[in-house]
Amino acid sequence: MKVILLERVERLGALGDVVTVKDGFARNYLLPRAKALRASDANLKVFEGQRVEIEARNDRERETASKTGEKLDGSSYVLIRQAGEAGHLYGSVSGRDVAEAANAEGAKIDRSMVVLDKPIKTLGVHAVKIKLHAEVVVTISINIARSVDEAERQARGENVITSQFEEDARVDAEAQADMLEGGAGSMAEDRA
């Protein structure tokens, strides 16, 4: 199906381009979301008559998104989640979770604006892209931790998983040294 794009669509074209797309993509995504019109002679005339107005509206929306993006770009949000010893989450963090965390601190983003290639399934600080407009994309940081203390340590750059393993190894080494020195259950005490 041939359509006229009413805004820039990634990997497809810019405003005013006439492109050929699969029928389902046009019917289920582009047309209902007012991102395109069917490419007929009547629609081409209507589009050309309203082109200046459509471009002006697109510019206003881009400017608004840019202003919002300046405030949002580089900001960091904390999510507290349960995770196993190796740092794997019980579940995953989705676009909805990211949007809720940002909105709780005053940002105004929709979950459809969050761009995740795959769900986040590990503890740590993750960079997440937010698509405010077809031409405005910003990056925020999501700090996923098991506690507020752990989130603060991760924000300082500490890898809490390796730190935990190192601490456990140190405690085990101390316990083993204590056993060798005759600490717990020493044979010398039993003979006396």
**The pLDDT of residue 31:** 93
Distance CA 88, CA 123 (A): 6
pTM over 0.75: no
Structural domains in the chain, CATH included, are 2-66 (3.40.5.10), 76-164 (3.10.430.100)
With CA atoms as reference, report the closest residue to 78 among 131, 153, 19: 153
- How confident is the model over 26-65, as pLDDT tens digits? 999 999 998 999 999 999 998 888 889 988 998 999 999 9
Closest to 114 in 3D by CA, of 102, 98, 93, 100: 98
pLDDT tens track for 118-170:
889 999 999 999 999 888 999 999 999 999 988 888 888 877 777 666 777 77
Q: In the chain, count H helices and then E strands.
A: 6, 9
Task: Find tokens 């500490």 and name the residue.
Answer: 158
More confident residue, 171 or 123: 123
Torsional sign, CA 77, 80, 84, 85: positive
CA distances from 186 to 127, 171, 172, 182, 183 (A): 53, 19, 18, 5, 6
Query: Residue range 2-25: average pLDDT?
Result: 91
What percent of the chain clears pLDDT 90, i.e. is strictly above it?
A: 45
| Residues ≥6 apart with Cβ < 8 Å to 44 | 4, 18
Distance, in Å, from the CA atom of 186 to the CA atom of 192, rounded to the nearest integer, reads 11
